[in-house]
């Protein structure tokens, strides 16, 4: 595939690029209810520590910044990912289990210029979370109504393009 003295160094540049396409994210937060007791059910409302992480591989980034493999356009818009989300009771959990609940969510997102759709399986990590595998769907819209209320108040209207120039 590569010829010439400079070719091996170019190949060495591509390998870190392929790894850079892999993205890791994480989040953590304290879930503190506005009231500490549910008088209707006569139960304390616990404070939880919620945390999670995701591992994603961006095919759009791969195509635009690392290497254009000439894959079908549909595949170039995909972001395969695995998310994990957990919740651990921290305080005010009298009488209840302090067991951590959570889910592992493998799935895929299709990213376009104006919207994205995603689907993930929701696999409970233990019996306290649930006993069946669920499905999560997502839809994110952007640039809605570009020819009507999405136009600037001043200036001439801008032309509307289809997602990814298609």
Partner 1 sequence: MYTRVLMTILPLLLLPTATADAHAFLDRADPRVGSTVHAAPHTLTLWFTQDLEPAFSTVEVHDASGARVDGGKPTFGAGGRNVMQIALKPLSPGVYTVSWRVLSVDTHTTEGTFSFHVGE
Question: Could you list the residues that contact partner 1 (CB under 8 A)?
Answer: 1-7, 9-10, 13-14, 17, 27, 48, 50, 52, 54, 56, 60, 63-68, 70, 79, 81, 83, 85, 87, 101-103, 105, 109, 111-116, 118, 122, 128-130, 136, 138, 140-143, 158-159, 161, 163-165
Task: Classify residue 130 by its DSSP letter.
Answer: -
Q: How far is the CB of 66 from partner 1 (least distance, A)?
A: 6
Quote the CA–CA distance of 111 and 109 in Å, as a whole number: 6
* Beta-carbon contacts of residue 40 (< 8 Å; ≥ 6 apart): none
Q: How far is the CB of 164 from partner 1 (least distance, A)?
A: 5
Q: How far is the CB of 94 from partner 1 (least distance, A)?
A: 14
Quote the CA–CA distance of 153 and 151 in Å, as a whole number: 6
How many CA atoms within 13 Å lie on the side-chain side of 27? 11
Task: Classify residue 115 by its DSSP letter.
Answer: E
Q: How far is the CB of 102 from partner 1 (least distance, A)?
A: 7
């Amino acid at each position: 595939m590569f010829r010439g003295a400079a070719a091996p160094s170019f190949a060495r540049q591509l390998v870190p690029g392929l790894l850079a396409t892999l993205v890791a994210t994480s989040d953590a937060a304290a879930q503190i209810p506005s009231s500490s007791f549910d008088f209707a059910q006569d139960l304390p409302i616990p404070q939880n520590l919620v945390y999670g992480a995701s591992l994603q591989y961006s095919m759009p980034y791969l195509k635009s910044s690392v290497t254009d493999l000439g894959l079908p356009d549909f595949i170039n818009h995909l972001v395969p990912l695995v998310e994990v989300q957990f919740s651990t009771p921290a305080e005010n959990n009298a009488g209840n289990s302090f067991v951590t609940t959570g889910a592992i969510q493998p799935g895929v997102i299709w990213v376009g210029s104006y919207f994205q759709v995603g689907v993930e399986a929701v696999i409970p990590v233990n019996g306290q979370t649930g006993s069946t595998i669920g499905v999560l769907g997502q839809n994110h819209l952007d640039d809605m109504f570009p020819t009507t209320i999405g136009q600037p108040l001043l200036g001439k209207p801008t032309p509307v393009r289809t997602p990814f120039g298609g």
